[in-house]
Amino acid sequence: MTKTKHKNLFDVAIVGGGPSGRIAALMIAQKGLSTALIAPPSGKSDGRTTALWQKSIALLQDIGVWPELAPSSASLKKMRMIDDTGRLIRAPEVVFDSAELELEEFGFNILNKELNYVLKEKCAKQDRLTVFADSVDTASFSVELAHLRTSGGDEIQTRLVVAADGRNSLLRQTAGIEVKRWSYPQEAVVLNLEHPLPHQGVSTEFHTPTGPFTLVPLPGRQSSLVCVESAEGAKKLRDLSAAELELELERRSHSILGKFKLASEVQSFPLSGLSAERLVDQRLALIGEAAHVFPPIGAQGLNLSLRDIADLTEILAGAHRRHQDVGSPAVLDVYEKRRLKDIRTRTNAVDALNRSLLTGFLPVQLARGAGMYLAGKVGPLRRLLMREGLEPGSGFLLHR
């Protein structure tokens, strides 16, 4: 239920209206903590999609939203990687099959607009969750409490603020947490396509000289596309007519799904990265893109954010049961120590893979080619990589 113009005290206040903020609010409220969600109304429909791995799907099941999302999602059974760089040293094709791990699928691809709608509806009905359809105007943090003031004049006091307000986080800036930023000479062109041939649950990633060209299954005979290009190349694609663009994208996909027809508007955005130096400060914890940003490669972005949320919720729920102050330095220190390794490892891995596609340096090409060759030929290594991609640390556990 939405409330305004009240001064309330909460255990936790989450700031941010994207999937990370809403999922965090639902999870924390369902653990019995009084929770506020400050989420400004979104004025634009998000035509992109998100691939979520099995552990992330289990999280959506736990908070009660997956049954409504399942009908509009597509299962991801196989992931195929094809070297389409045309360079002297080229890697062999590699196929990662979920059946090798005795799984029905790696996960599902979901339309962002469907995910956002279902989460918004669930938040409006969730017990112990108060939604403020507004943005934060000012924030201050003291030893005892954090104080938030919304643009509409609501004053909120809370024991802990969770920043899910994106890469330009006001809360992170207010707390003085420094970030490392970097950019790439690339843009991602994103759209959805219809095609006559079935994708059969196979996600195909062509590695090109400018970055990945990735087709990810959607329900029926549709797929989402992320095409990473140079800034000049992205502009050329945007400037094409619909018929010209469909033909060009079919050419780049080598017609593996037949003729393309545009099924959404064309969007593009520059690629960049960000890593916060700390994940916590006084009465503050960072999650999602307030803490880490990297290119849309390997479907790691939101999956990594959901691991932030799962770990933070588990820690806060434990502190709440023990009647501890959920915003105390001792509690927040546990969260930071648990998350830093996973975040640093994923950020560095995605950065290294992306840069390996851009370089013409032969030793790097050789190393990438050798890695893909071994992944394709050596079963235990391939299965280890698959398990690590789905859940950090699980690839090094003993499996029957």
Query: pLDDT per residue over 102-160, tens digit each?
Result: 889 999 999 999 999 999 999 999 999 999 999 999 999 999 999 999 999 999 999 99
Assess if residue 318 is contained within a domain.
yes
Is 258 a member of any domain?
no
CATH number at residue 118: 3.50.50.60
Kindly state whether residue 191 falls inside one of the protein's structural domains: no
46 domain-assigned: yes
pLDDT for 349 equals 77
Q: Please, are residues 195 and 47 in contact by the beta-carbon 8 Å criterion?
A: no
**Whole-structure pTM value:** 0.88
Exposed e or buried b per residue across 304-336, where buried means at least 16 C-beta atoms within 10 angstroms of its C-beta:
bbbbbbbbbbebbbebbeeeeebbeeebbebbb
pLDDT at position 7: 60
Identify whether 324 is part of a domain: yes
In a domain, 241, yes or no: no
Residue 188 pLDDT greater than 60, yes or no: yes
pLDDT recorded at residue 395: 46
Q: How confident is the model at residue 367 (pLDDT cuts 50, 70, 90)?
A: low
Q: In this structure, is residue 151 part of a structural domain?
A: yes
Return the pLDDT at 352. 72
Report the number of distinct structural domains present in the chain. Answer: 1
pLDDT at 350: 78
| 109 DSSP β-pair partners | 51, 74
Q: Express each pLDDT in 270-285 by its tens digit.
A: 999 999 999 999 999 9
CA distance 142 to 139: 10
Paired with 115 in beta bridges are none
Rounded to an integer, the average pLDDT of 245-253 is: 98
- Going by C-alpha positions, the residue among 70, 116, 56 that lies closest to residue 310 is 56
At a CB cut-off of 8 Å and minimum separation 6, what does 124 contact? Answer: 1, 2, 131
- Which residues have C-beta within 8 Å of that of residue 383, sequence separation ≥ 6? 100, 101, 395, 399
Residue 266 has a pLDDT of: 95
Q: Provide the residue range defining the domain that includes 131.
A: 7-50+113-180+272-359
